Structure 1
Amino acid sequence: MAETSIADRLHGAGAHALELEGVTRHFGALAALSGITMRIMAGERRAVLGSNGAGKTTLFNAITGEFPLTAGRIRFFGEDISDLPTHERIRRGLRRTYQISQLFSGLSVLDSVFLACRGVSRRRFSLRRPGAMDINVMQAHSIINAVHLDDDRDRLVSTLSHGQQRQLEVALALAGAPRFILFDEPAAGLSPSERRDLVVILKTLPKHIGYIIIEHDLDVALRVTDYVSMMHNGRLFKEGTPEEIENDPEVQDIYLGGRHG
């Protein structure tokens, strides 16, 4: 991303996809998130990194509404969604994937993506059998192509490799014209070749779709994002471009174990 765009983002110019203001989440006496303030531009691709227990997945759960906030506010494209239930956030174009696959093993790839598209459409309760020219069927085929599963569209989910199931999860997140996606460790358990394929998929997503990616594989995270937020003990620790984060001595000492090559 151009330096002017980064400067605009840092100074709050332009349209924001997500605005977090003092987001806090307590579990009893444990402060899992403490005063997280973050502004993410429409179309921006950001990594949220940190060690286990830093609060990354809790942050995702707060954004999606799975965990109610103890304090703070969340805005999605200018609308305060802090008190909206998860399904209303989905209807507004917010999507996410999970660390652990949540797929229907008895469905085919095509049926899985079609149902995801149908589930967020206005005709989701229609009993009419869709034809080949049904808009949701056509969208499902387009999405399957985008995640490189064309040759596997008729296979049962249960027969897919782990990497292919991860690709299918990305496909499901793309259903229904999302405006912003939260990717929770999409490269977990992937082989080197599958990780390279994932990088290509993420880089070629439509430019208007922004996302946050949580990822332990820094080679993936730093290649597919243009800004990085580091978390530590439920707080923001460092922020900067991938190059700035990669070369920050404090980040190297705590997270990278020396220079990341």
Structure 2
Amino acid sequence: MASVASIARPPAARAADGRPAQPPLASSDALVLTGVTRTFGALRAVDDVSFSVAAGQKYAVLGSNGAGKTTLFNAITGDFPPTAGRIHFFGEDITELPPYERIRKGLRRTYQSSLLFRELTVRDNLFLAVRGVASGRFSCWRPRAGDASMSATRNLLERTRLAHLANERVANLAHGQQRQLEIGMALAGAPRLVLFDEPAAGLSPAERRELVALLRSLPAHMSFVLIEHDLDIALRVVDRVTVMHNGRELRTGSPQEIENDAQVQAIYMGSRH
């Protein structure tokens, strides 16, 4: 005879494929990773990573070389889709979507190595980025002075502090200025979340200060996730941090909690502490 408890308890909800149904996603979540895994043959580059980024939250993913950070970004953007787990973007499951569809939904990223049109000007690079996500991106008509894309390009020049270099060829820019330009291109089309892959790599101290000012000036409603080796930069511009080690999540917490965590210090920061 069934117990009272078994009679009163409803059966567990199941998804269409028979797996336990996931609880409803919070409307405030910009990005939710659930058990994200990426394998390359026998190598598990990312292993069962789960965390969420709220709308407007500034987030960092830290870890030493080989921790799986960039592979995780590639899974989120669809460059190398996860082999297991799910990715939700503002409540929508984007796990199976191609990269260009994720871009159209407001997801952007930068790369460790700058991907710029070196023989074009700063203005031209930003304009192409703006047109690339605009509805009229395939138009062959020369834009007029009042064109919305021209206006958006001017706004990006001001936001990235590159207006004084608008007509300069990208090949002539300093490394830090090229990184600023790449960030500006990622901001084209009012993205909802941007993934920054080591934006401080190779920057001088002065350029790093400029980067911090740029990241702090981003709109409050815009979320971003930052991969960064420079702990001082990362902890100054984010609200929440996940530390990865050997493809797995080691710790998640506030910048202060991460900085004071003994295991993080031993594995990630080493002799600095």
Provide TM-score, normalisation by structure 2: 0.89
- Partner Cα distance (1:89, 1:174) in 2: 14
Whether contact under 8 Å (2:27, 2:90) holds in the other structure is no
Q: Number of matched residues?
A: 249
Partner of 1:34: 47
Match of 1:130 among 126, 143, 151: 143
Any idea what SS the aligned residue of 2:238 has? coil
- Partner Cα distance (1:38, 1:166) in 2: 27
2:156 equivalent to 1:143: yes
Whether contact under 8 Å (2:30, 2:55) holds in the other structure is yes
2:265 equivalent to 1:237: no
- Partner Cα distance (1:136, 1:222) in 2: 34
- Partner Cα distance (1:254, 1:35) in 2: 20
5+ residue gaps in structure 2?
A: 1-24
The Cα of 1:13 is off from its aligned counterpart by 5.4
Match of 2:226 among 209, 213, 223: 213
AA at the equivalent of 2:176? G
2:164 equivalent to 1:155: no
Partner of 1:248: 261
AA at the equivalent of 1:35? D
- Partner Cα distance (1:13, 1:119) in 2: 31
Any idea what SS the aligned residue of 1:132 has? coil
AA at the equivalent of 1:225? V
2:129 equivalent to 1:116: yes
AA at the equivalent of 1:44? Q
Summarize deviations over 1:15-59 as a string: whole Å, max 9, x none: 111011111111000111111111110111001000100000000
RMSD over aligned Cα, in angstroms? 1.1
Any idea what SS the aligned residue of 1:170 has? helix
2:66 equivalent to 1:53: yes
Partner of 2:206: 193
Partner of 1:9: none
Partner of 1:15: 28
Whether contact under 8 Å (2:27, 2:91) holds in the other structure is no
Summarize deviations over 1:206-244 as a string: whole Å, max 9, x none: 111100000000111000101000000110000110011
The Cα of 1:257 is off from its aligned counterpart by 2.3
Partner of 1:7: none
The Cα of 1:129 is off from its aligned counterpart by 0.8
Deviation beyond 2 Å, 4+ runs, structure 1: 257-260
5+ residue gaps in structure 1?
A: 1-11
- Partner Cα distance (1:39, 1:250) in 2: 22
The Cα of 1:181 is off from its aligned counterpart by 0.3
Stretch deviating more after TM superposition (248-257 or 149-158):
248-257
Whether contact under 8 Å (1:247, 1:259) holds in the other structure is no
- Partner Cα distance (2:126, 2:113) in 1: 18
Any idea what SS the aligned residue of 1:236 has? strand
- Partner Cα distance (1:110, 1:33) in 2: 38
Partner of 1:89: 102
Provide TM-score, normalisation by structure 1: 0.93
2:187 equivalent to 1:174: yes
Any idea what SS the aligned residue of 1:223 has? helix
2:81 equivalent to 1:62: no
- Partner Cα distance (1:117, 1:229) in 2: 31
Summarize deviations over 1:147-194 as a string: whole Å, max 9, x none: 110110110111101010000000000001100000000000000000
AA at the equivalent of 2:147? D
- Partner Cα distance (1:170, 1:144) in 2: 11
Any idea what SS the aligned residue of 2:53 has? strand
